[in-house]
Structure 1
Amino acid sequence: MCPGSLVPRFLRTSIQFFPKFWTSVSQSLIPYKTFPLATFKRRISIAVMSTSSPPTPPSRALIDDERRFKTITLPCEWVEDYRPGGYHPVVLGDVFNHQYKVIRKLGEGSYSTVWLAHDLNNSRYVALKILVSEISESTTELRILRHIIEYAPEEGSRYITRLLGEFEHRGPNGLHKCLVLEPMGPSVNTMVEELPQFKPRRRGMKIRYPLQMAKSILKQSLQALAFLHENGIAHGDFQPGNILFPLIDVDSTPEELLLQEEDVQARSISPPVQRLDGKQDKWAPQYLCVAQPLVPFTCYAEGFKVKLSDMGGAYFFTDPPTKPVTPLGLRAPELILTGAVNNTVDIWSFGCLIF
């Protein structure tokens, strides 16, 4: 039987008069649409890519073409440095060494992040400095802090932030040295903007430390450098950002008053960290935290003290580094011109601070 004979006569007649119409109708009734095999394979591969695990990022600084994440514009550490050898991914509420509960971010640098942690065993607050994995074995910071504790503990605690403990933590990016330090307030670099005489801020206002306050900061900083040099140590990164104000009554403060808000709208944390390829990333945290120094608990009244911090660039006179970390603008001429590293780099940096 001819297929055409199954069509009623009145339809066969209409098909003859309206062939284009019936051609389009018949095509729309085709139940399956075929694709070339190559297209089918490509769609399969795309589906697999979206669910497969991402490759391990390289354990070195990335170039633009290797960027993994969407840009985060808040003043935080660079998200691309969450990689093997880099930062450890920390989330508020994490507990380290079964003892230190992270409740707030205090700061970050090229080689570490610093957090306020609640010492659950001793009912106190500490600063937890977590070094990047790639320098955790080679840094001299821990060796120098131990040396100060052993040979000059009393003077050391007067001028240098105290080391309270240490441990190692293994994470997705490697093994990290963790230093437990006394918590401190804002740096000389930022505290000047928090002084009450400069609030509210007015147009044309000059933000400077009062003369007596500036003199005290300079005197105490020079005394701290003298202490280090007498013990055969150069700081190597002497700058206002590494001179810190002390805290008052922080240990008696309830934890809930010190907690960092997990609020994207308040810009205390970043939006969720997202990969460009949409995959989950096990090397980075869920979000980045903006540093929130403990300004309300900072002592800056008459008789205040400051201390030198961040001994990550420090070295013994007998063992100078081949690559100093002193900021370029604070480097001594001989360091820039010849690369010679000695104890004079601190003195030049101090002169820049006076200027």
Structure 2
Amino acid sequence: MSTSAAFPEENLSLTADQGFGFFPGSPGLTLKNGSYEIVRKLGRGQSSSTWLIENRGSEYVLVPSFGDTRYPNAGVGLDAVKILTANATRGHQRNELEYMNAIRNLGDDRPYISMLRDDFEEQGPHGVHLCLVIDIFSTDVSTFLRSAPDKRLSLHLTKMIVALMVESLESLEADIEAQLHVDGPPVIDGEFEFSGKQYPIMRSQPFPHNFPWNASRHLTELLTVYLTDFGDALKVDMVPSSLEISPYALRAPEVILGGKFDTKIDVWALGCITFELLTGHWLFEPEGCDKWSREEDHLKKMMELTGETFSASLLERSRFRDVYFDGAGNLLHIGDLNPVSIEDTLTNYGVKDVGPISQFIRDCLRFDPDERLSIKEVQSHAWLRFAFACCG
């Protein structure tokens, strides 16, 4: 995947003080005093870039697919390294190393979770960069979703992906060398200048996978999805420095209202993601205006979709109750609601057999976290039972 409009190339020359500071990697460049050598660029996000590297001390090669499979390789292995921008390195995303180390210290590899293999710091023209060596994976689920012509997936694919995400929260043979031969040499799309020196702009060349967007039920049983990227992770007992601890489309009501939150916000996100996979659209896309805030519109849309209201006991536990609600529990700046059920919303997007899936989404979207499903309860939900039988 080449760099998209969301990550314009001009960001490459922006400094850490400007919120960026990308590491200017290139093929042949060595890292960690020669322990690793960059082969090609795999991808780039808002605050990091990912590179394919040769690991001279490894005795295995990781195979790119949705899964994680190791094959013997004579003394030289291939891994991926996520290199944080200089800005992210000196900022809050250093927490990512802490959390990945905590997972690694549990002992054996956790199923369906990206494991940290090594970490180190590398000096670049923008400053110090935190480098996280991880397994090689294929494209992310969002890219997989966009590969479908109508930007949505079948019911059986969605069910399997959601089941595997739940598994990760609870806790195909291929040849990389052959793929590198097929792809040809790393592609340079130009160059940029920083402090009087020219650096190459490397094209992102992620590894493909073997799963088509319209995979059959039988093929879907071979699917593996991993939970990756812990840059914005938080401990359950941690007080965030910002309320923006998750993307708007996935934000649970207790986050907006300033209430106590725990792993139940992940269950809320699962309900939203399930809808997005099935329809190709966000479940919630709030908008603000001169009369009300984006957050108040978000709360309104939650009520319209679920048919729930925010109870007095829930609002009493919310620091920002008075920002959005009056004493009677009504929104301060928005009057009439326009209810549209989950069933009708799914049907309007062409989803079939909406009864079971609607109940699953509704169970994930209970306003009160105490009444929302736990991860273990999600695992035993009737809608996911068959998927867990396949992946368990």
TM-score interval for Structure 1 and Structure 2 normalised by the shorter chain: 0.5 to 0.7
- 1:218 to 1:260, Cα distance in 2 relative to 1, 3 A: farther
- 1:285 to 1:292, Cα distance in 2 relative to 1, 3 A: farther
Letter in structure 2 aligned against 1:116: L
Give the Cα separation in 2 of the matches to 1:311 and 1:94: 26
What is aligned with 2:161? Answer: 217
3-state DSSP of counterpart to 2:194? coil
Q: How far is the alpha carbon of 1:332 from its aligned partner?
A: 1.4
Comparing 171-180 with 338-347, which one deviates more in the overlay?
338-347
What is aligned with 1:88? Answer: 23
For each residue in 1:65-114, what CA deviation from the matched residue of structure 2 results, as whole angstroms up to 9, or x when unmatched?
xxxxxxx9866455335314522222233221213222222222222111
Percent identity (aligned): 26
- 1:327 to 1:74, Cα distance in 2 relative to 1, 3 A: closer
What is aligned with 2:51? Answer: 115
Alignment partner of 1:345 out of 240, 259, 265: 265
- 1:249 to 1:169, Cα distance in 2 relative to 1, 3 A: same
3-state DSSP of counterpart to 1:213? helix
Give the Cα separation in 1 of the matches to 2:198 and 2:246: 29
5+ residue gaps, structure 2: 59-75, 276-392
What is aligned with 1:332? Answer: 252
Q: Does the CA-based 8 Å contact 1:172-1:283 persist in structure 2?
A: no
**Matching of residues 62-141 of structure 1 within 5 Å:** 76-77=7-8, 79-80=10-11, 82-84=14-16, 86-97=21-32, 98-122=34-58, 123-137=76-90, 138=92, 139-141=94-96
Give the Cα separation in 2 of the matches to 1:119 and 1:76: 28
3-state DSSP of counterpart to 2:270? helix
For each residue in 1:16-38, what CA deviation from the matched residue of structure 2 results, as whole angstroms up to 9, or x when unmatched?
xxxxxxxxxxxxxxxxxxxxxxx
Q: Does the CA-based 8 Å contact 2:26-2:40 persist in structure 1?
A: no
For each residue in 1:159-211, what CA deviation from the matched residue of structure 2 results, as whole angstroms up to 9, or x when unmatched?
211211111101111111100000000111112455xxx6xxxxxx5343232
Q: How far is the alpha carbon of 1:328 from its aligned partner?
A: 1.5
Q: Does the CA-based 8 Å contact 2:158-2:274 persist in structure 1?
A: no
For each residue in 1:25-58, what CA deviation from the matched residue of structure 2 results, as whole angstroms up to 9, or x when unmatched?
xxxxxxxxxxxxxxxxxxxxxxxxxxxxxxxxxx
3-state DSSP of counterpart to 2:201? coil
What is aligned with 2:65? Answer: none
Letter in structure 1 aligned against 2:158: A
TM-score of the pair, normalised by structure 1: 0.59
Q: Does the CA-based 8 Å contact 1:103-1:258 persist in structure 2?
A: no
What is aligned with 1:307? Answer: 226
- 1:103 to 1:80, Cα distance in 2 relative to 1, 3 A: same
- 1:249 to 1:76, Cα distance in 2 relative to 1, 3 A: same
Give the Cα separation in 2 of the matches to 1:182 and 1:77: 26
Comparing 176-185 with 144-153, which one deviates more in the overlay?
144-153
- 1:180 to 1:77, Cα distance in 2 relative to 1, 3 A: farther
**Matching of residues 138-287 of structure 1 within 5 Å:** 138=92, 139-154=94-109, 156=110, 158-194=111-147, 205-227=149-171, 248-251=173-176, 253=178, 255-257=180-182, 261-262=186-187, 269-273=188-192, 280-282=193-195, 286-287=199-200
What is aligned with 1:289? Answer: 202
Give the Cα separation in 1 of the matches to 2:230 and 2:206: 19
Give the Cα separation in 2 of the matches to 1:80 and 1:127: 22
Q: Does the CA-based 8 Å contact 1:141-1:312 persist in structure 2?
A: yes
- 1:112 to 1:212, Cα distance in 2 relative to 1, 3 A: same
Give the Cα separation in 2 of the matches to 1:286 and 1:294: 24
3-state DSSP of counterpart to 1:271? strand
TM-score of the pair, normalised by structure 2: 0.54
Give the Cα separation in 2 of the matches to 1:339 and 1:109: 30
- 1:207 to 1:129, Cα distance in 2 relative to 1, 3 A: same
Give the Cα separation in 2 of the matches to 1:77 and 1:310: 21
RMSD of aligned residue pairs (Cα, Å) = 3.0
3-state DSSP of counterpart to 2:157? helix
- 1:108 to 1:77, Cα distance in 2 relative to 1, 3 A: farther
Give the Cα separation in 2 of the matches to 1:187 and 1:172: 29
Instruction: State the structure with bigger RCO (CA 8 A, min sep 6), 1 or 2.
Output: 1
5+ residue gaps, structure 1: 1-71, 199-204, 228-246, 263-268, 274-279
Give the Cα separation in 2 of the matches to 1:131 and 1:342: 27
